Amino acid sequence: MAYTSDQISVMDSIIARYPRKRSAIMPLLHYTQSIDGYITNDAIELIGKKLDLATAEVNAVSSFYTQYKTKPVGEYHVGICTNTLCAVMGGDLIFDSVKEHLGIENDGVTSDGKVSVEHIECNAACDYAPVVMVNWEFYDNQTVQSVKDLVDSARAGNPPAPTRGPKTLRTWKQNSAVLAGISDGLANEGVQAGDATLLGLKKAKGGA
């Protein structure tokens, strides 16, 4: 696709943050993903030109990190952890049940384009296992039913707020822009670190 002059201007402002412009490669990938919904060939070519890099270098980065997608995902992208602790606590059952509930497989997207599902190796939140992330926002201590309710609400356009973080779940494209370093003004909303995360620190300081 052809990017607008305003979008090109944002890309230039992202590049200007860095002493070496090639350092802007990851935020530029996030930014183009916030426009297109995934990493397109046009985006890779443009980023290469902007940063004086071969397209192969840009593609190597975009294909290495799983946050960059090579095909469209849902407006609400659900990552279900099935690593050891989450699996023991019910992650495997959640993953299988939600796929069946939505009628899709891993990396599949519902026919309305609203929800996609991805197996995640670790959501880095073992203290709240089993954990699900939607557009990289946390949903802690989940059950089969709570995740079914979550995806149903998302498809209806009324997803519940994340357990931690902003009070409103933003879309895949909106959160891709945040990952590019574009503030949505929600950084200080909601719970940042919950009691389970802070328990060790509390005990180290002599708390009960």
Q: Which class would CATH give 5-64?
A: mainly alpha
Q: Which residues contact 123 (CB under 8 A, 6 or more apart)?
A: 79, 81, 86, 131, 132, 133, 138
pTM of the full predicted structure? Answer: 0.91
Average confidence (pLDDT) over 53-79: 97
Average confidence (pLDDT) over 179-187: 91
Rounded distance between C-alpha atoms, residue 46 and residue 25, angstroms: 11
The reported pLDDT for the residue numbered 63 is 96
Residue 194 has pLDDT above 90, yes or no: no
The reported pLDDT for the residue numbered 202 is 84
Tell me which of 3.40.630.30, 3.40.50.1820, 3.40.30.10, 2.50.20.10 is the CATH number of domain 76-171.
3.40.30.10
Range of weakest confidence among 71-75, 149-153, 195-199: 195-199
Domain ranges of the chain: 5-64, 76-171
Residue 50 has pLDDT above 70, yes or no: yes
Residue 11 has pLDDT above 70, yes or no: yes
Residue 79 tokens, joined? 């990552």
Name the pLDDT band for 192 (thresholds 50, 70, 90): confident
Name the pLDDT band for 190 (thresholds 50, 70, 90): confident
Residue 208 has pLDDT above 70, yes or no: no
Rounded distance between C-alpha atoms, residue 8 and residue 16, angstroms: 12
Q: Per residue in 144-179, is it b (16+ CB within 10 Å) or e — as a string?
A: beebbebbeebbeeebeebbbbbeebbbbbbbbbbb
- Higher-pLDDT residue of 165 and 23 is 23
